[in-house]
Chains A and B, each alone.
Chain A
């Protein structure tokens, strides 16, 4: 007897599509929303790693850092218009962020509705600290991203003076006298670290990658990537604040 799962799945798909043409609510189900969060989250994690790599160029000096930033604007030129690639990239990121936040908001509202009467006593059995920080940590990260773009991308907020050089913006903005800017940055990056610790694990489980034999490895990968990203983003501003770069 054929016990192949795929052949049967295909057979079932054909049988069902002849029966009903109506799109099911399963496309908007909690599982589908969570999958959208996982895919957009993966896009954002990959972006963060690339962003962190660019930031670390600060240790190679002003020329390398500014050259890298300029290179991003030229990427794909002349095949694409100038800054063409950058804008496609930005639109993909913006769409990812919006889908991620939309899904999170809908799922949070659902979860609140799913338990209107709370427990008098609750106890943590095995959940990670990171899993507590996902929702409010996410809000903090979103607020930080707005500030971050206004500060270092648009340079509308320019502690220490505006500049056309990305390197100078960074060095001006994280001087010791602007310790509160650095503090906000550090807090946000740590929030990102916690967000990634649970988010990477959760995203992989949502996309069906969790197997009992793999669970430890997925968690180790989540902790590892979260740590690398956290440290990688903390180094440049702290190096400026403590006078190692300037």
Chain B
């Protein structure tokens, strides 16, 4: 298939950046989106041009490193990561617009690569437990109700790719933070720091200049891991509970 790509090119943090159009011929429908970008980069390198910088690592949909906005949708038209998106999701002759995640908290480093250090700092603020857990415990040593275990696990599947922020009209990180708060808050090991955790993590995400949540739901709709929107209500419940108890 033949496609036209409109790609965001930006030399560095301080460069203004612009959209550049490239034409690609003989793209296989079985290529992943990133393989298609690899082909573009090989072509650009042969022509003596700078290849398009983009983040990627496992290419198996589990690491959360890749992620670009394709035709206005984070990770493109399928509910998966960009690496697991294939060119068969597009049509011959399509013009595809590729942009980096747009958020003040995620500054563009180069082309499609953004700095997601803000997520690491939110985790640092409270997304951990300090109980020494030792080696893997015996099964059923800590009985956890099945619904709680399921809820914790659903939230724990977050890979921190940042699609929720990219898709949010307010560039809010609430779904990410809520996933961590719900994941740790449903399990006994997460209880000692539970009340303080939510306060510290919310303070940190505000500090990083993410916007506020208006419950529009685009985050959960594009999440490649299907983090449920109700984790945000869980975060709100925990935060209001902490504040009413004077924690934080």
Which A residues are within 8 Å of any B CB, using their own CB?
1, 3, 5, 8-10, 12-13, 16-17, 24-27, 29-35, 107, 110-111, 113-123, 125-128, 131, 134, 198, 201-202, 205-212, 215
Establish whether residues B239 and A31, one from each chain, have CB atoms under 8 Å apart when the complex forms. yes
Establish whether residues B206 and A127, one from each chain, have CB atoms under 8 Å apart when the complex forms. no
- Chain A contact residues, majority secondary structure: helix
B19 within 8 A of A: yes
B196 within 8 A of A: yes
In the assembled complex, which residues on chain B have CB atoms less than 8 Å from the CB atom of A122? Answer: 72
In the assembled complex, which residues on chain A have CB atoms less than 8 Å from the CB atom of B228? Answer: 212
Could you tell me which residues of chain B, from 70 to 101, have a CB within 8 Å of some CB in chain A? 71-73, 97, 99
Distance of B209 from chain A, by nearest CB (Å): 6
Establish whether residues B72 and A121, one from each chain, have CB atoms under 8 Å apart when the complex forms. yes
Establish whether residues A114 and B105, one from each chain, have CB atoms under 8 Å apart when the complex forms. yes
Establish whether residues B191 and A13, one from each chain, have CB atoms under 8 Å apart when the complex forms. no
In the assembled complex, which residues on chain A have CB atoms less than 8 Å from the CB atom of B169? Answer: 111, 127, 131
In the assembled complex, which residues on chain A have CB atoms less than 8 Å from the CB atom of B193? Answer: 12
Q: Interface code B221-248, partner A: CB below 8 Å = 1, 0 otherwise?
A: 1100000111011111101111101111
In the assembled complex, which residues on chain A have CB atoms less than 8 Å from the CB atom of B185? Answer: 5
| Complex Cα–Cα for A210 and B232 (A) | 8
In the assembled complex, which residues on chain A have CB atoms less than 8 Å from the CB atom of B245? Answer: 9-10, 13
In the assembled complex, which residues on chain A have CB atoms less than 8 Å from the CB atom of B235? Answer: 31
Distance of A131 from chain B, by nearest CB (Å): 5
Q: Report how many residues on chain B are interfacial, defined by Cβ distance under 8 Å.
A: 63
Q: Interface code B136-147, partner A: CB below 8 Å = 1, 0 otherwise?
A: 000000111000
Establish whether residues A126 and B236, one from each chain, have CB atoms under 8 Å apart when the complex forms. no
Given contacts A13-B195, A126-B218, A118 and B102 within 8 Å (CB-CB) = yes
Establish whether residues B171 and A215, one from each chain, have CB atoms under 8 Å apart when the complex forms. no
Establish whether residues B191 and A8, one from each chain, have CB atoms under 8 Å apart when the complex forms. yes
Number of cross-chain contacts by CB at 8 Å: 183
Establish whether residues A115 and B214, one from each chain, have CB atoms under 8 Å apart when the complex forms. no
Give the residue name and chain of the B residue nearest to A134 (CB).
B214
B12 within 8 A of A: no
| Complex Cα–Cα for A27 and B246 (A) | 10
Establish whether residues B221 and A125, one from each chain, have CB atoms under 8 Å apart when the complex forms. yes
Establish whether residues A25 and B206, one from each chain, have CB atoms under 8 Å apart when the complex forms. yes
B129 within 8 A of A: no
| Complex Cα–Cα for A212 and B229 (A) | 8
Establish whether residues A123 and B71, one from each chain, have CB atoms under 8 Å apart when the complex forms. yes
Distance of A222 from chain B, by nearest CB (Å): 11
Distance of A41 from chain B, by nearest CB (Å): 12
| Complex Cα–Cα for A206 and B217 (A) | 12
Establish whether residues A13 and B230, one from each chain, have CB atoms under 8 Å apart when the complex forms. no
Given contacts A24-B203, A29-B203, A210-B233, A120 and B73 within 8 Å (CB-CB) = no
Establish whether residues B215 and A115, one from each chain, have CB atoms under 8 Å apart when the complex forms. no
Establish whether residues B142 and A210, one from each chain, have CB atoms under 8 Å apart when the complex forms. no
Establish whether residues B248 and A210, one from each chain, have CB atoms under 8 Å apart when the complex forms. no
